Structure 1
Amino acid sequence: MTAVPVVIVGAGPTGLTAATLLAQYGVECLILERWDSIYPQPRAVALDDEVHRILARLGLGGEFAAISRPHLGLRLLDRDMRVLAEFRRDVASGRHGYPQGSMFDQPELEAILRGNLARYDSATLRGNAEVTALIQDGGGVRVEFTDTATGAPGSVHAAYVLGCDGANSLTRSSIGASMRDLGFTQRWLVIDVATEADLDQWEGVHQLSDPARAGTYMRIGETRYRWEFQLRPGETADDYRDPARLHPLISPWTGTLPVAELAIIRTAEYTFRAQLADRWRDRRVFLLGDAAHLTPPFIGQGMCAGLRDAMNLAWKLAGVLDGTLAETVLDTYEIERGHHAHAMIKLARFIGTAMTAGGELGNLIRRAVAPRLHLVPGLKKLATDSQTPPLRRSELVTRPRLRRNLAGRLCPNAIIDSDLRFDDVAAGRFAIVTSVEPSAAQRAELTRQGAVVVSAAPGSELHRWLRRGHAQAAIVRPDGTVLAAARQLASLIEPSRCSG
């Protein structure tokens, strides 16, 4: 039987990201995907600058920028299309060097992910391979699959398996995990349209807060647009396949543009859910992406969460496989990502409820409150800032129990020198960011541990970041997360501290 260190089930954005990150560390992996090519319909359409940063780590920062559009933020509209509130984002460059929000077409993203993965000899993508069983033994996992083109059975033995196989995950059921409902279920109509005409709309996300039918509009490409409308009881997507029936829904944005100039790419029904797997791991099998969590789309974090899963786990798994990290570090994956994903799901659920619930009373409240939201201290920053919550305490996040510091947060991908940013210098290794010059002995110890020293020069972005965190130095993990921060550099430089 063929053996490979890692098998990845599913070649969506999460699986492709995990495979590429592992390949960058020299880890051989096999991706098994039941379809023979990219799924042609767009699903995810938005990501933030933290995830754009992950794509840049894969070597796709520029390619993604070429296929995406920065979006301006969020507008809240009433049923008469009047603007109730507007929250603008920085479309130039956030703390990580990329627009705080970007829109894209998922098939295009998957195409560049696949093209990039092909650069690595250590990663193999096999299509038409439907995984049918995962059987764990003392030394790993036997993965059984069927060639969907020929019907021929196959199997491979893996040291570890990453289940990136979506909401109906076989990997999840194979480890006896189940989805825990977090109390949000809504049926929505999703409409994707292509047109050469410019709709001449504000290029952010439009949220229609209409008690009769909540809706969302966004431009996702040069010629691509998306609408989402909440379905009423008894309605289905089939009711809107006829363009004449569909047009009244989207006409507030298309105006007098003839239906003939709109190419309907898709009308589909989606059930927006808030769910979290009750466990993400069984020994050598891990869940990532939609297999582990489902997030309502109101803050554009569904796909983002999967790429964060991959970024969190890949470097730890690579370290365990090459012997530089103890296997216990894999316990931190669910501790860190489970809490973070839960926090983002709760935020999406809250935003969705606030925008769509309450009927006429809710509508009256929104009309009264929304225009005054900008007066609430800190709310505009909360609504536009792409920064997500810090990771929970773990073996790899050493944060004081009685106070918060930089530990668990992402280090900014700040400019270090000329065109170099933090990630260019750290290059997927542990780094010490310090506002003081290490002594010769300290540098020798850091070099022995394999850590990169990044100087936070006075007045620099990193220097200001350390000062805001009341720290002189911070240890930054290969995924950009702060492991620990301290008021004195010396207290961070301990044997094995930067090597796991």
Structure 2
Amino acid sequence: MDRVVIVGAGPVGTASAILLAQRGVPCLLLDRYAEPYPLPRAVHVDDEVVRILQELGVADEFLRVSRPGLGLRLLDGRHRVMAEFRRDTATGPHGYPQANMFDQPDLERVLRARLATLDGVEFIGGAEVVGVSAGSSAGSSAGSSADVTYRLLRTGAEHTVPAAAVLGCDGANSTVRGLIGATLEDLRFEERWLVVDGVCDRDLGAWGGVHQVCDPRRAATFMQMGSLRYRWEFRLHPGESIVDVRPLVGPWLGDAAVRIVRRAEYTFRARVADHWRSGRVFLLGDAAHQTPPFIGQGLGAGLRDAYNLAWKLASGDERLLDSYERERKPHARAQIRLAIVAGWAMTGGQDRAAAVRRVVLGAIWRVPGLKGLALRSTSPPLDHVGRGRRAGRLAPQPMVVWEGREVRLDEALGPGWATLFGERPPAPRRVRGRPIRVTPELDPSGALRRWMRGRTIVLRPDRVVHAAH
């Protein structure tokens, strides 16, 4: 059996390898570097994404290196609070805090440690991919394959290996994307920002969520990632380059001292690849889509890609592979557009627009119902999934009692398809995968039964509703 070749060993590529290996699919993981990138980049994932980390077997380890985020505060140029959007720091609908702040190198160490425990995965660092053949087109036999050619940077030797599939998880400047001729559609957002990461000598005593400064003269973001680790982001003016960052971070420090561990200029863009598949080659993560950071969904979108594609590859059903781009692309585009709107609302405009924005934000905060909408953290449903109004939505994950133990729902569901039903057993034709009768004994809190509303629910391996009868 040919291996799946994964190009790029960042969080999305490593997660893809873990998901496939757990399902018995052999993998070859290639990266230009032998060790994870040592500096912070992504800093936030929501409870839906921690649920994916649970599937990877690393949720408990992740919780030990992350901290719950309290939500979002919108500040004016003088750092006065205009609005506050709180998140549940205990348990959200998916069994974890709704916002989770972390240092990406910590997450990558957790993922690499998990990968090392699995059979069927080979990792080669210091390998540059120089060629990919797409193999047979969609709908062909499961035995079709692609070829990947990589060069060992240390020796210059080139190797070509067959691949059951190739996953391009190699970032915004993806080599794989270029090799399959995919281009990026510009969704018309581009801003230059300065990102500063620092370690302070004491806790700053800041509110434990994300602070967004809605000042058109200098839009900024501030957040705490770890016990003494902080991040600042400042929008740059056209042609501006800042050498000394201390005057910018100073207002947040008081009398604390800070050691700057990274400062980097980024251009935040909104782009989506025109196609995510060519034959046996697929694009995931930043290779397929890039988003501004204003709703904290960049890494989460890539991990969703990995979860969506891995179980379909492992199933051996070629028809399922055609659904990967059809489901994930509209979802990613919707979240990118939401990030663009959020970015404009929080940072865009000139002085007059900023004044109007403050009035509007204050009004929104006072209107019943709109506050709840602003606090909602669930992602949009997937398109083109199954039957019924609930199809495409992610099922919640309450605690249940399974085989005498209190566990999160996914542990009871198992790794494959599952069918949830109530007192009346469904017709056999409506059962797929593991049948689970949801009784008061299994669901003592009643949360699962309230969500089901007496229906029979068919869940895919990624916990997305396929059908509700």
TM-score (structure 1 length as normaliser): 0.88
3-state SS of the aligned residue for 1:432? strand
Q: Deviations over 1:401-446 (max 9, x none)?
A: xxxx21100111111215212100112211111122427x749x84
Q: Within 2, Cα distance between the matches of 1:329 and 1:442?
A: 23
The match for 2:354 is: 363
2:408 counterpart of 1:421: yes
2:249 counterpart of 1:262: no
Matched residue type, 1:345: I
The Cα of 1:196 is off from its aligned counterpart by: 2.9
Q: Within 2, Cα distance between the matches of 1:481 and 1:214?
A: 37
Q: Within 1, Cα distance between the matches of 2:101 and 2:309?
A: 26
RMSD (Å) for aligned C-alpha atoms? 1.6
1:131 is aligned, of 93, 104, 129, to 129
Q: Within 2, Cα distance between the matches of 1:292 and 1:378?
A: 35
Q: Within 2, Cα distance between the matches of 1:216 and 1:79?
A: 12
Q: Deviations over 1:182-207 (max 9, x none)?
A: 01000000000012311111010000
The match for 2:139 is: none
The match for 1:235 is: 240
2:386 is aligned, of 394, 398, 402, to 398
3-state SS of the aligned residue for 1:212? coil
The Cα of 1:377 is off from its aligned counterpart by: 3.4
C-alpha distance 180-212 of structure 1, shift in aligned 2 (>3 A): same
2:438 counterpart of 1:455: yes
3-state SS of the aligned residue for 2:16? helix
The match for 1:81 is: 79
2:190 is aligned, of 179, 185, 209, to 185
The match for 2:141 is: none
The Cα of 1:372 is off from its aligned counterpart by: 2.5
The match for 1:8 is: 6
The match for 2:378 is: 387
Q: Is the 8 A contact 1:100 1:385 kept in 2?
A: no
The match for 1:66 is: 64
Aligned residue runs from structure 1 range 151-230, under 5 A: 151-230=156-235
Q: Is the 8 A contact 1:437 1:455 kept in 2?
A: no
3-state SS of the aligned residue for 2:294? helix
The match for 1:304 is: 300
C-alpha distance 55-454 of structure 1, shift in aligned 2 (>3 A): farther
Q: Is the 8 A contact 1:431 1:454 kept in 2?
A: no
Aligned residue runs from structure 1 range 310-389, under 5 A: 310-320=306-316, 326-389=317-380
The Cα of 1:124 is off from its aligned counterpart by: 1.4
1:408 is aligned, of 382, 392, 401, to 392
The match for 1:250 is: 249
Q: Is the 8 A contact 2:386 2:467 kept in 1?
A: yes
Q: Within 2, Cα distance between the matches of 1:427 and 1:173?
A: 38
Matched residue type, 2:386: T
Q: Is the 8 A contact 1:456 1:462 kept in 2?
A: no
The match for 1:292 is: 288
What's the % identity of the aligned pairs? Answer: 52
Q: Is the 8 A contact 1:93 1:100 kept in 2?
A: yes
Q: Runs of 5+ in structure 1 lacking a partner?
A: 321-325, 487-500
Q: Runs of 5+ in structure 2 lacking a partner?
A: 137-143
3-state SS of the aligned residue for 2:345? helix
